[in-house]
Structure 1
Amino acid sequence: MHFLELHEIATLIRRGEATSSEVTEAMLERIDRYDARLSSFSDVLADSARKEAEERDSRYGAGREPGVLHGVPIAVKDLFAVTGTPTTAGTRAFDDQIAAFDATVVQRLRSAGAVIIGKLNMSEGAFAAHHPQLGTPRNPWGDHLWVGASSSGNAAATSAGLCYASMGSDTGGSIRFPSAATGLSGLKPTWGRVSRAGMVGFARDLDCPGPMARSVRDCAIVYDAISGPDPDDPVTLRRPGSSLTEACEHAEDIVGGTRIGFDPSFLALCDAETRDVILAAAAVLESLGAELVEVALPSVEQIVDDWTPACAVEAALVHEDVFRRSPEVYGPQLSALIAQGLAVSGVDYQRILHRRQDFSGRVRETFADIDALLLQVTGIAGPTAEYLDDIGVGAEWRTRIMMATCPINSAGLPAMTIPGGVTGSGAPIGFQIVGASDREATIVALAQAFQRHTDHHRRHPSAYV
């Protein structure tokens, strides 16, 4: 039961073949059994989840129409407010920050019938490193493997079968990195498509909430439930969005004739296993009627270099008051980032914003001739935690880790990450399909068509079966 896809368990509950209480209890038992090792949850909401599940069962028994997520246990990254619980964002600075309301995405998950089973651990402040006092979630595919950042708890819990989907966020790759590292599907939406109200920000102009799940179809269902304009987040887009569930249903029809771009210079920076996965994915999509088109993306080096100081300024805005008052509560990496942000001049930050605008315009020109873009998530397959520690934040970090993800945030584009294979040692390898702004339906259809004809997303970490 625990490795069923979200839409499968939802169907069983709607048919009366399982109850929400039974499914929720099974998840709580797995959390109790495995999470001491995984450290994926910051707060297991066992009592409220049981009550919520009972309420779902009673509403359904009373003949009320169930929501699309009716009775399904879902967990959320610990930067989304959940009433009555701490919202720590992975830092000791917010230990006493008890939420008086639900974040908009949590409200919408509940309105669709989901059971909120817990809050998930994350890197401190949604930056790269975890707070040294809070520990780091482990990758269910191997303790030595990088679990991704910052939605690391999401990846560990969802991959190990401790929830059926999770809400993450992506500022420079934080849905895509952990999804690729743990064999999950993850959707980073167009900036502004999903409300950030009730969410602790990292970099406001780049942050994108989005779902992580075991299939593209599951991500589509969750996205449809949470997306849309929100008066509490005035920058959310008011123009109508597409139904991604419908895109999944008509995936093969959409794929035919779709023009998918690939940039050989990006491919050349991948190791052999990553390159093989991308080429194999391209071959599958071509066989389904898509057309592969060679493109030359605008240079990303400066945009990648700009990402950290830009995030530093915005993180400083979030944390300034607490940091000036109690800098000692922060871990060393986030502390250094906040200090860097406080030191950046207004003129230098404006230069960064101008370069970002110029880059976005050049990317839009690229998409004038294509419908989607095929890219690596990281240029190295199955990176280990030791490897990440060794390379630090330098040239190799830029070319092997960040160059295919954070520029997508800078341009505000949607990206769907899906598993495409495994390394020789069995570690998952993911790739991403990127779309033009508001083209979630196109990339989701491509990804869904790929998953209908492959079984990479049905592999699970053997230690948790």
Structure 2
Amino acid sequence: MRVLGFMTGTSLDAVDMAVLETDGETIEAFGPAGERKLSEPVRKLVLAATEAARGWERNSPEPGVFAEAAAAIAAGDVSSREMTEACLKRMTALNPKVKALAGLDEADALAQADAADAARAKGDALGALHGVPLAHKDMYYRRGRVSACGSAIRKDFRPDHTATALQRLDAAGALDIARLNMVEFAFGVTGHNDVVGTPRNPWNTDHMTGGSSSGSGVAVASRMCFGALGSDTGGSIRLPAACCGLVGMKPTYGRVSRHGAMPLAHSLDTVGPLTRTVRDNALIMQAIAGQDANDPVTAGTPVGDYLAGLDKDVRGLRVGLPESFFYDGVAPEVRTLVEASLKVFEDRGCEIVPVKIPDAVAVMNRLTNLITATEGAAVHSRWMETRAADYGPQTRARLAIGLFTPASLYLRVLTLRKQLVREFCGQVFGKVDVLHTPLMVMPVPTLAESNMSANPGFADYLLKIGHNTRPGNFLG
């Protein structure tokens, strides 16, 4: 008997499912959440395999969960259908608790997997992501498929084109097996959605997921899929990654095409992946990055090899330690963990360099909010006139603020942005290679604490949650 694959909870005793092979026959054994219990011999075998895998992950700086899945499919060690069935069963078992899914067509998912297996059997050239099940935030358009964008207004919207990012993942062989929940129209950092329901953090369902890519964070963290696309306008990839224990990449503005992705604020919107590991993140970025004629702001800079540098020695890397702003108001428990992570860089030979942060960074949080609300209001102006009651109260309130921004103020902010970007990059990245900051200055809040509907001071609370993320969007 050999283990083909398994999915676990947070302890070695919490094996939720195993795919096994004995005497040439493939069988499935389900743990506590499923129909069948693991027999003691099978349980020991699965736990041994799980412990071996986790031992490899502990000893490797970059455990390649996604990468290993793709390699296993390419080698014929496991089929795409087996992996997809495992993900679908995980979704069925866990979604009632964590509410990650906006839409699921199991028949279509399995058809994609069968097509991937057939292509491999024929000897077709395989992409780097061939046959691996992904799922994406419900704002990436796929022709003919509903894309509700976390809203009631678009609950029946079927686009006539497919997002460039999805097309590129398709070309790399990845499967797209589900639509994932999100904050209404991607306008919120906590993950709450008063219209279609709020996803729950899989590590502790009493706490927020972060937003707006809430379902993407939940689905990947709870092992429903191997990776997911999110979007980031003020922290909406990085916050779910931080809250759910993942790697989230907000690419440089213009690195990845936004064509076919629901717009929020065109001056700030970026597209990127959430994954379990850095290597997995690089694999997806490698597939989706690059210039696109359908998105005129995409950069013509050639896409490098994002995987090539992952195993390089970091000795001599200049790591910037901010002397102000990014550590303002940091909770003691967060500071302790961030300082421990800084020690890891130091122990690996990096040079820790104190950096003076330009004073102007203090206004970037509010200026990012102003741009988002103003450009968002322009996108939504028609619906705000005709369907205002169909918005959730938080989204409606934030869009309404943007309707009253004077054009002269908005244009001055965009002009000032260029000056502040030059100043920041010169003073900071002229001295260091990377800037080391906490992602959030507070521990992950509970759903009750972060419920803006019950919090009259929600504007200041939102600023605090995005304190360290919005400057990144303002800077590009």
Specify the TM-score bucket, using the shorter chain as the normaliser: 0.7 to 0.9
SS of the residue 1:212 aligns to: strand
Counterpart among 77, 83, 96 of residue 23 in structure 1: 83
Residues 291-306 of structure 1: pairs in structure 2 closer than 5 A: 291-299=351-359, 300-306=361-367
- Aligned-pair CA distance for 1:335: 1.3
Question: Hey, what's the Cα distance between the residues in 2 that align with 1:268 and 1:96?
Answer: 44
What secondary structure is seen at the aligned counterpart in 1 of 2:208?
coil
Q: Does 1:378 align with 2:437?
A: no
Q: Does 2:336 match 1:263?
A: no
How large is the Cα RMSD of the aligned pairs? 1.6
2:401 paired with 1:343: no
Q: Distance in 2 between matches of 1:264 and 1:391?
A: 32
Deviation, structure 1 residue 86: 1.4
Aligned to 1:436: none
2:378 — aligned with what?
Answer: 317
Once residues 140 and 103 of structure 1 are traced to their aligned partners in structure 2, the CA distance between those partners, rounded to angstroms, is 28
Q: What letter matches 1:20 in structure 2? A: S
Residue in structure 1 matched with residue 458 of structure 2 by the alignment: 393
CA drift of 1:130 comes to 4.0
Whether 1:109 aligns to 2:169 is: yes
Say if 1:131 and 1:330, in contact at 8 Å, map to a contact too.
no
Q: CA deviation at 1:202?
A: 0.9
Contact 2:142 2:161 in 1 (8 A): yes
8 Å Cα contact 2:195-2:391 kept in structure 1: no
CA contact (8 A) 1:90 1:130 kept: no
Tell me, yes or no, if the aligned pair for 2:151 and 2:195 is still in contact at 8 Å.
Answer: no
For residues 83 and 48 of structure 1, do their structure 2 counterparts lie closer, same or farther at Cα, with a shift above 3 Å needed? Answer: farther
Tell me the secondary structure at the aligned position of residue 388 of structure 1.
coil
1:289 maps onto 2:349 in alignment: yes
SS of structure 2 residue aligned to 1:199: coil
The one-letter amino acid paired with 2:122 is A
Kept in 2, the 8 Å contact 1:194–1:228? The answer is yes
The letter for the 2-side match of 1:133 is V
SS of 2:280 mapped into structure 1: helix
User: Where does residue 124 of structure 1 map in the other structure?
Assistant: 184
Summarize deviations over 1:148-188 as a string: whole Å, max 9, x none: 01000001110001000000011111111000101101111
Verify: 1:67 aligned to 2:132, yes or no.
no
Counterpart of 2:106 in structure 1 is 46
Does the residue aligned with 1:386 lie in a helix, a strand or coil? coil
Matches within 5 A, 1:43-192: 43-128=103-188, 130-192=192-254
Residue identity opposite 1:96 in structure 2: D
Give secondary structure in 2 for the equivalent of 1:188. coil
TM-score of the superposed pair, with normalisation by structure 1: 0.85
Give yes or no for contact 1:189–1:208 (8 Å, CA) kept in 2: yes
Structure label with greater radius of gyration: 2
Return the alpha-carbon distance in structure 2 between the equivalents of residues 241 and 262 of structure 1: 29
Paired with 1:119 and 1:345, the residues of 2 have a C-alpha distance of 37
Q: Which has the higher contact order (CA 8 A, sep 6+)?
A: 1
In 2: Cα distance, 1:397 partner to 1:378 partner: 11
| Structure 1 residue identity aligned to 2:113 | A
Match of 2:466 among 379, 384, 402: 402
Question: Scaled by the length of structure 2, what TM-score is found?
Answer: 0.83
Describe the shift of the 1:392–1:244 C-alpha distance in structure 2 as closer, same or farther (beyond 3 A): farther
Give the letter aligned to residue 297 of structure 1: I
Corresponding residue of 1:34: 94
Taking a change above 3 Å as real, the CA distance of residues 263 and 174 of structure 1, as seen in their structure-2 partners, is: same
Change (3 A) 1:76 1:54: same
Please give the per-residue CA displacement for 1:225-255, whole angstroms capped at 9, x wherever unaligned.
Answer: 010001111110001132111121x332xx1
Amino acid at match of 2:344: V
Contact 1:301 1:403 in 2 (8 A): no
* Equivalent residue in structure 1 for 2:258, among 180, 183, 196: 196
Q: Which moved more, 1:375-384 or 1:155-164?
A: 375-384
Per-residue Cα deviation, 1:259-288 (whole angstroms, up to 9, x for no partner): 110113333521112111211111111111
Structure-2 residue corresponding to 1:362: 423
Q: One-letter code of the match for 1:232?
A: N
Aligned to 1:260, the other structure's residue is in SS state: strand
Q: Deviations over 1:339-365 (max 9, x none)?
A: 222221101112222332222122111
Give identity over the alignment, percent: 35
Pair 1:226–1:118, CA change in 2 (3 A):
same
Confirm whether residue 227 of structure 1 aligns to residue 289 of structure 2: yes
Alpha-carbon spacing, 1:106–1:139, altered in 2? closer, same or farther (3 Å): same
User: Taking structure 1 as reference, are residues 385 and 298 closer, same or farther at Cα in structure 2, changes over 3 Å only?
Assistant: farther
Post-superposition CA distance 1:5-36 (Å, at most 9, x none)? 11121111111111001110111111111112
Asked if the contact 1:45/1:116 (under 8 Å) is kept, the reply is no
Gaps (5+ residues) in structure 2?
A: 1-5, 9-63
Q: Which residue of 1 aligns with 2:19?
A: none
For 2:234 and 2:180, how far apart are their aligned partners in 1?
Answer: 19
CA distance, structure 2, for counterparts of residue 246 and residue 387 of structure 1: 42
Distance 1:385 1:137 in 2: 10
**What residue is the counterpart of 2:52 in the other structure?**
none
Question: Which has the larger share of helix?
Answer: 1
**Alpha-carbon deviations, 1:24-65, whole Å to 9, x = none?**
011111111111221101011322211111110000000112
* 2:349 counterpart letter in structure 1: G
Deviation at 1:221, TM superposition (A): 0.3
1:397 Cα deviation after fit:
4.2
Aligned to 2:403, what secondary structure does the other structure show? helix
SS in 2 for 1:168: strand
In structure 1, the residue matched to 2:21 is: none
Q: Structure 1 residue 326 and structure 2 residue 413: aligned?
A: no
Aligned with residue 73 of structure 2, among 6, 9, 13: 13
